[in-house]
Amino acid sequence: MPEQSSAAATLRFFTELGLISADEAALVDELFTADFPFAAAIGIAESVHVQVKVADVHALPHDKILAGDVSAQRDAPNFRKYGFPSGIAVIFTSGAIAEEDLIPGAVTRPLPFVDHLGIDLREDSLDSRAVYADIRDRAVAAGWRHVRQGGPQAPVRGCQCEVSEKSWVYPPDSPHGRGRPIEFAFGELELLSSTDTNCDYRPIDPAHPLARLVPKTNQVRAPQTVTLSTRR
């Protein structure tokens, strides 16, 4: 499980660099609160990642970041990942990573901004499966929206790695509100041997007013099951 105080220090470092806002860093801190609806998942998480969209990953202060206690890193075109001993990984991407990136006018936040937070559930055990399986019901009960992506027969593929399946939850506020989507990635992370342009996009928030305009050409490899909360 990531360590909260060390995670806060990691996020403060990126806030001082102007790459993550103070409000976005506070969203990460909220993952560790007792009333977070998915606290059980945080309790068994191997790591937490923060995915930040920037105009150009090549313009990042790479050397300065590496001097900030980085324990692991991965580089690819339009992708930089920095891991820290705190259990926090900060990922920077430029280019399309989410379905709304394919819809002109759907993305309104100025760069840089946090696209989503990720909770990495790497251990595949009976206990972890029970926690993962409970995410949908917890989301609906708390008024969050839920999208399941992938499954044993169709893993979810990123541009450098793939994982068995994911659950995405979207906070009760509006798609343009303060909150951000949260990804629960379940299963061991398998690194791909080469960069693959056939990646699965982050599913758009089902409540996004332009969700129906996701291009038909977006052939998402992993099946998706959408659950909308009935809470009002």
Residue 72, pLDDT > 60, answer yes
Alpha-carbon span 79 to 85, nearest angstrom: 20
Tokens of 191: 């690194």
pLDDT, residue 69, reads 85
pLDDT, residue 190, reads 76
pLDDT, residue 1, reads 75
pLDDT tens-digit map of 57-71? 999 999 999 998 898
pLDDT bucket at 156, cuts 50 / 70 / 90: confident
Give the residue-averaged pLDDT of 63-90.
91
Residue 22, pLDDT > 50, answer yes
Residue 52's DSSP bridge partners are 92, 114
pTM: 0.90
pLDDT bucket at 193, cuts 50 / 70 / 90: low
pLDDT tens-digit map of 91-139? 999 989 999 999 999 999 999 999 999 999 999 999 999 999 999 999 9
The CA dihedral of 29, 31, 37, 38, to the nearest 10 degrees, is -170
